[in-house]
């Protein structure tokens, strides 16, 4: 399983960042899951340089550009140079702040150009009775992968994160059956967009109110490959519990 801890802007000081990193390093030595942490940019820089642990680092977002006179932008290359190997792209909080399908497609290209494995976030705003949420997710994936070569498409991880389930509690997360349906659907969409049988190796993650109480059921009832975890990943007690409950 791949577990990605999205620290968002919950972590704002280096002491807490170091503590959470230490917790993850210990966990990484005892779990079969792969642990990836996504700290805010300056904290990622401080922790990832000279990282010799099994914990990998992800950008929470990257610039769609190749750098230049762009105050405040952090490029894929800047993340890669301090040791990040993944990049979250198209998170709903970044989409809400202005990321369009075109920008997201460019960000995927930038990530891949610098060997950051992109974690593409998709997910509907709400569920409807007619299954429109399925075509919504299909369109997001199709638009994001549109400018990539077939080989590049095969390197993208898809994180299904329905907006209605983000930042709540386990009781508000998706149910196991609905998740199983969506994971199969995403695999079908990927099979159509990727060459040959390459989509059989594509990883699909779930994110949205994953907590120690629901992670096991969600994993057991679907063919999910891992989780993208927000609020439950920044508590030094909850996060290890979550990883242990999955095992």
CB of 219 to ligand PGA, least distance (A): 15
Catalytic residue among 91, 93, 140, 231: 91
Q: Per rule CB under 6 A, is residue 228 in the interface with ligand PGA? A: yes
Q: In angstroms, rounded to a whole number, what is the distance separating the alpha carbons of residues 108 and 156? A: 8
Q: How many residues bind ligand PGA (CB under 6 A)?
A: 13
CB of 207 to ligand PGA, least distance (A): 4
Tokens of 2: 């791949």
CB of 227 to ligand PGA, least distance (A): 8
Tokens of 208: 């949205």
CB of 3 to ligand PGA, least distance (A): 12
Could you tell me whether strands 86-89 and 34-38 are parallel, antiparallel, or unpaired per DSSP bridges?
Answer: unpaired
12 has catalytic annotation: no
C-alpha distances (whole Å) from 229 to each of 71, 147, 180, 211, 232 are 29, 28, 18, 8, 6
Catalytic residue among 106, 124, 140, 161: 161
Question: Site mask, ligand PGA, residues 164-203, x = CB under 6 A?
Answer: --xx------------------------------------
Out of 230, 239, 242, 246, which residue is the one contacting ligand PGA (CB under 6 A)? 230
User: Helical H runs in 56-146?
Assistant: 76-81, 92-96, 101-113, 132-145
91 has catalytic annotation: yes
CB of 61 to ligand PGA, least distance (A): 12
Out of 56, 229, 242, 243, which residue is the one contacting ligand PGA (CB under 6 A)? 229
With residue 220 as reference, give the H or E element that holds it. helix 215-221
Decide whether 150 or 236 has the Cβ nearer to ligand PGA: 236
Q: Per rule CB under 6 A, is residue 242 in the interface with ligand PGA? A: no
With residue 38 as reference, give the H or E element that holds it. strand 34-38
Residue pair 216/176 in contact (Cβ under 8 Å)? The answer is no
List the interface residues with ligand PGA, window 126-165 (CB under 6 A).
Answer: 161
Count other C-beta atoms under 10 Å from residue 1's C-beta.
18
Which residue is closest to ligand PGA by CB?
230
Out of 39, 118, 207, 226, which residue is the one contacting ligand PGA (CB under 6 A)? 207
Task: Please list, residue by residue across 120-144, b when 16 or more beta carbons sit within 10 angstroms of its beta carbon and e when fewer do.
Answer: bbbbbeeeeeeeebbebbbebbebb
As annotated, the active-site residues are 91, 161
Q: Which spans of this chain sit near ligand PGA (rule: CB under 6 A)?
A: 6, 161, 166-167, 207-210, 228-232
């Amino acid at each position: 399983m791949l577990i990605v801890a999205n620290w968002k802007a919950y972590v704002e000081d280096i002491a807490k960042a170091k503590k959470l990193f230490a917790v993850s390093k210990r966990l990484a030595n005892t779990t079969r899951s792969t642990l990836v942490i996504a700290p805010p940019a300056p904290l990622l820089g401080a922790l990832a340089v000279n990282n010799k642990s099994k914990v990998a680092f992800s950008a929470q977002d990257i610039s769609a550009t190749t750098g230049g006179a762009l105050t405040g932008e952090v490029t894929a290359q800047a993340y890669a140079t301090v040791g990040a190997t993944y990049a979250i792209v198209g998170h709903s909080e970044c989409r809400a702040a202005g990321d369009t399908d075109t920008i997201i497609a460019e960000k995927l290209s930038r990530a891949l150009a610098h060997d950051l494995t992109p974690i593409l976030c998709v997910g509907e705003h709400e569920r409807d009775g007619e299954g429109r949420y399925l075509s919504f997710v299909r369109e997001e994936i199709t638009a994001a992968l549109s400018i990539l070569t077939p080989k590049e498409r095969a390197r993208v991880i898809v994180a299904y994160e329905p907006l209605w389930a983000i930042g709540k509690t386990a009781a508000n997360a998706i149910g196991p059956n609905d998740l199983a349906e969506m994971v199969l659907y995403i695999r079908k969409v990927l099979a159509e967009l990727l060459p040959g049988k390459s989509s059989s190796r594509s990883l699909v993650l779930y994110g949205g109110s994953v907590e120690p109480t629901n992670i096991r059921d969600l994993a057991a009832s679907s063919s999910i490959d891992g989780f993208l975890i927000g609020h439950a990943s920044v508590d030094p007690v909850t996060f290890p519990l979550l990883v242990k409950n999955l095992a």
